[in-house]
Chain A
Amino acid sequence: EVQLVESGGVLVQPGRSMKLSCAASGFTFSSFPMAWVRQAPTKGLEWVATISTSGGSTYYRDSVKGRFTISRDNAKSTLYLQMDSLRSEDTATYYCTTDYYWGQGVMVTVSS
């Protein structure tokens, strides 16, 4: 069974950092580009970042460029999102996804 399990979401103050993880199982993780997609409360889906299979190429939306870093460890079948200088507008449920497979999401709340 395919599983993507996100972790690391908490309440954090503006300007602080947080790292999300996504543990994958049930498929060949290293063969899939991976992405983070977020959804603010009551809002639509918003693409955040994508990483290639090797990790050699990464892509970000402008609003997180320079603040967020997507990475992966294929040996551990795990995807990461390092989020620095967090802002209130980063508050959302964050999903890790291959497009085909989606995690259950992890809530990140940025508030003082």
Chain B
Amino acid sequence: DIVMTQGVLPNPVPSGESASITCRSSKSLVYKDGKTYLNWFLQRPGQSPQLLTYWMSTRASGVSDRFSGSGSGTYFTLKISRVRAEDAGVYYCQQVREYPLTFGSGTKLEIK
């Protein structure tokens, strides 16, 4: 199984600052079509997860351009610019390169 390892944030992050969340996979998530099969989700307290980006860097419809995904085949970053109170929650990376699909353990973002 592909293991997804997420980093920890130095919480709380001051409102208006940037935050970068890291995720590492135990195997390359680049498929033969050239796409990188990595999703980012945000789960706000008490809510269902929300898709932020897919194919590593493509923002989902309606997602603020303050969220940007980047990375290589095994190391990924989700950058949140000018953080706001509404960005608080737990962020998960997920590989969809192969089954079984696997999530990272989550990275909590708190806003000051």
Contact = CB atoms under 8 A, between A and B. Distances in A.
Interface of A: 35, 37, 44-47, 50, 59-62, 95, 97, 99-100, 102-105
A59 B49 contact: no
Contact of A104 (B48, B54, B96): B48
Contacts of B106: 44-45
Interface of B: 39, 41, 43, 48-51, 54, 60-61, 90, 92, 94, 96, 99-106
A99 B92 CA distance: 12
Given A46-B103, A47-B100, A50-B99, A100 B41 contact: no
27 contacts: A37-B49, A44-B90, A44-B92, A44-B105, A44-B106, A45-B41, A45-B43, A45-B49, A45-B92, A45-B103, A47-B102, A47-B103, A59-B99, A59-B100, A59-B101, A61-B100, A95-B48, A95-B49, A99-B39, A99-B51, A100-B51, A100-B60, A100-B61, A102-B48, A102-B49, A103-B48, A104-B48
